[in-house]
Chain A
Amino acid sequence: MNNLLENTLNKLNNGIVLVDKDFKIQFWNDWLTRKTGLLLVEVLGKPIAEFAPKFELVQYCKILKNVMETGQSRFLSGALHKSFFGDFVQNIQFDRVTHYHTSFIMIQVTDITNHSHRVQKMRDFISILELENDEMRMNEAESRQMAMHDALTGLPNRLQFGAKLNGMIDLKKPFALLFLDVDNLKNINDSHGHRAGDVVLQEMAYRLKMAVRTEDMVARLSGDEFAVILEGVDHENEVGRIVQKIILKFKPKFVVDNESLSVSCSIGIALYPRDGEDPDVLLDLADKALYQIKRTGKADYGFYSNL
């Protein structure tokens, strides 16, 4: 049985020292031999302070004596006491053990050198995760932004426009819906190239935003189609004033590759709730008004109600 116990203690991943009432070593396991280079035969029967000089200090002598006398276990943290055996940071636990009325102190030694490294690694890992999380959130925000906006002009796209339109109707807020179309964009693309057409569209987006109020939405629906929601505006006179501003914004020529181009747009208008209360119906009515303007000369605007 003694051999079995000794073999077991020698397999532990902690240091085990047994000292008697005079604090002389009675057992020293293989783990400690690996850590200190000292064999059991070298230390057996000798004062522990000879191999762990800290035990000569009054403070630690008192601890050993107290454990022996009272049987109260004692724990010493490596963070406060550093090392007793070898030069690695270690936690120490003292327990009194008794064998046939003879008391010993069992000293358990745990190497915690890697604890702080592991903690620092964990902290570094957590910092990296936090950074990646922030990047992901930024990417998500960017993706959301891209999903809801037109890449060429930066304007809200059809998706976002549709959501706004539905929202306005849900809130039962009056508004004017403008459907805009660049006149003869195909000719510009054919004669000056699609890059010029893109520049025209970007400039048009800019001029439209300048012409309307901050609370109004300007969106690019597709190709050369734009839409505007004028919030809180449902009288033709008032709408007319804003639309005139839009028309005026298109008066100055568009400069593309040092060439001045005349660009105009046609505008069809439907009013909520006067002309309809369904978003698809309103879009259809504004489109019909736009079509009429296209047929009758372009570069102008018209209300559905006047058809």
Chain B
Amino acid sequence: MLDDMQKSILKEYVNVFIGQAANMLSEMTNQRVLLSVQELEVIDMNDENATNGKTFFEHGHIVSSSIRFGQDFSGRAYLIFPANKAKQLVDVCLGTHFENTGVDFNKELTDTDFDVLKEISNVILNSVVGEFSNLLGTKVDFGIPDVELIFVSENEQISHLKNNVYMLMFFTSFKMEMAEIKGVVVIALGMHSLNMVVDKINEIIGEMNE
């Protein structure tokens, strides 16, 4: 779907987008936060070969924040962490000490934790989706994310990212003084919206080659 050059450019743009989010998170938490996209995968969810036996993110308890965005460029954006990592991220942001001892998440992720995760995902997804819309020169509407703690088995990963055709999966690292936490930013697009992205990337490549 996307060749290496296209993926490389897309990854770099999203790195810039989440870099802006990192600045805001740093201000929010009074600590240096570095966000970077380590890897990008583009998946056609209709292609069984592409999805069969593939692990997109850690199965088990996950925290999934999502927004639906719309108008011309439309789809769904997710920020996904394993639940224990989400808890660690919250504790680091709040400055509270945390040791990952395999705690029972139904008890340990509190209302307050979900509020903090909502804010973090609001900042990141706003940046990513907002900057995508700027890049494409189009208007995009979206709101505050919904945050869920859910259990996803290995086989259910695909159905969690449901009703969408193409997935741009940005495997992201959150580096802070006390921890490095890995999560996934997923932009789920239909064919039309994906084509908008691809066309824009091709335009950028064309400008680079001139």
Interface segment, B54-62, B108-116, B188-196?
A: B108-116
Measured CA separation A72–B143 after assembly (Å): 7
Interface residues of A in 51-75 (CB under 8 A from B): 59, 70-75
Evaluate contact between A75 and B111: CB separation under 8 angstroms: no
Residue A146 at the B interface, CB < 8 A? no
Residue B198 at the A interface, CB < 8 A? no
Please name the residue on chain A nearest to B118 by beta carbon: A75
Residues of B within 8 A of A115 (CB): 110-112
For the complex, would chain B's binding face be called helix, strand, loop or mixed by DSSP majority?
Answer: helix
Residue B205 at the A interface, CB < 8 A? no
Please name the residue on chain A nearest to B111 by beta carbon: A115
Please name the residue on chain A nearest to B29 by beta carbon: A80
Evaluate contact between B94 and A79: CB separation under 8 angstroms: yes
Shortest CB distance B98–A (Å): 14
Shortest CB distance B203–A (Å): 23
Residues of B within 8 A of A112 (CB): 111-112, 115
Chain B interface: which size bin?
A: 20 to 34
Pick from A59, A73, A116, A118: contact of B144, CB under 8 Å: A73
Residue B142 at the A interface, CB < 8 A? yes
Please name the residue on chain B nearest to A91 by beta carbon: B115
Evaluate contact between B93 and A93: CB separation under 8 angstroms: no
Measured CA separation A91–B119 after assembly (Å): 10
Residues of A within 8 A of B94 (CB): 79-80
Residues of B within 8 A of A126 (CB): 107
Closest 6 A/B residue pairs (Cβ): A77-B115, A77-B119, A79-B112, A119-B110, A75-B122, A115-B111
Residues of B within 8 A of A (CB): 27-29, 93-94, 107, 110-113, 115-116, 118-119, 122-123, 126, 130, 141-144
Residues of A within 8 A of B (CB): 59, 70-81, 91, 93, 95, 112, 115-116, 118-119, 123, 126
